[in-house]
Amino acid sequence: MRRTAALALSLFALVACGAPAEEAPAGTTGDLPDTAAVVQAVTKDDALAATLPDSIRQAGTLRVGSNVQNPPNNFYAADGTTAVGSEVDLAKAIGAKLGLAVEHQDMAFGSLITSLQAGRIDVTMAAMNDTAERQQAIDFVDYFTSGITIMVQKGNPQGVTGPDDLCGKAVAVNLGSSQETYAKEYQCLSGDPIQVTATDSDTQNQNQLRTGRVAAILNDLPTAVYVAKTAGDGEFFEVLDLAPINGGPYGIGVNKSTPELTAAIRKALQALVDDGTYGKILAAWDVEQGAVDEVTVNGR
């Protein structure tokens, strides 16, 4: 469900559209959760580290390919060079458990799999959905469940509790997204379909919701949570407390030629789930709705 459109610092930049009510919600990357202590508390598992491929163990570094423009999963801090986000923290924690430093390499989303296959990176971690098609090329260690979520005005003035309440109402989605497909195909029991407003502008969608021209925005869970938390210092929007719709896993991509790395990452992440580190990281970024209890490979 991940869109490849950039969600960089300009995503929530102030854009004048006439009256103040038309201004885009302002977000910030300055007020970030402090997760350093959580990550630093992770200790190396010597037995697990010994199972790593020789090349990675000897290098002492895990090269993580990502598309660093997708808050809150991975994006740049205010300095424009430091990668931050829930996935960045999870990668560092996995690295610490395996005794590895983590090096993020920022690249186009579409080049991640080919870069992994070519050996330019060791893994991918970029809000990439684990799909049957992608499994033909690489393996996945599944670490998060995302899906469509519903964002409404703060206070939920229209009383939206789920998809059925959107029937007959206008809803904003991103053009060409899985959310657009879902909204257009949703079968309304009332007979009044969802009125879909599709744009290629997050700012425009947020403006429409702020001014009441739409009843809700459909977006991926992590992105919606981040927008609700940062836009207007959290005073503009809220996300309904629902399980992700049409949920599916995000996966850490690993080359099929290194199954021992896949196994080591799965076990390291499962250890972080079991000792609570994983949950603390997701909670810090307000995305615990997508947490998993069991870390799987290729959905199994």
Phi, psi of 198 (to 5 degrees): -105, 125
Statement: 147-245 belongs to CATH 3.30.1600.10: no
Phi, psi of 150 (to 5 degrees): -110, 120
Q: What pLDDT was estimated at residue 30?
A: 53
Question: What long-range pairs does 109-118 form, CB within 8 A, spacing at least 24?
Answer: 109/2, 109/4, 109/67, 110/4, 112/65, 112/66, 112/67, 112/253, 113/137, 113/138, 113/253, 115/65, 116/65, 116/253, 116/254, 116/255, 117/255
Residue 246: closest CA among 160, 166, 146, 164: 146
- Identical fold, 36-146+248-297 and 147-245: yes
Q: Is there a contact between 250 and 143 (Cβ–Cβ < 8 Å)? A: yes
DSSP code of 272? H
Q: What pLDDT was estimated at residue 2?
A: 42
Task: Give residue limits of the domains in the chain.
Answer: 36-146+248-297, 147-245
Q: What pLDDT was estimated at residue 12?
A: 33
User: How far is CA 260 from its chain centroid?
Assistant: 26
Residue 88: closest CA among 72, 100, 99: 72
pLDDT one digit per residue (tens) for the chain, 300 residues: 444 333 333 333 322 233 333 343 333 445 789 999 999 999 999 999 999 999 999 999 999 999 888 889 999 999 999 999 999 999 999 999 999 999 999 998 889 999 999 999 999 999 888 988 899 999 999 999 998 999 999 999 999 999 999 999 999 998 877 789 899 999 999 889 999 999 888 789 999 999 999 999 999 888 898 889 889 999 999 999 988 898 889 999 999 999 999 999 999 999 999 999 999 999 999 888 889 999 999 988
- Tokens 């009332």 found at: 190
Could you tell me the fold of the domain covering 36-146+248-297? D-Maltodextrin-Binding Protein; domain 2 (3.40.190)
Q: Is there a contact between 167 and 192 (Cβ–Cβ < 8 Å)? A: yes
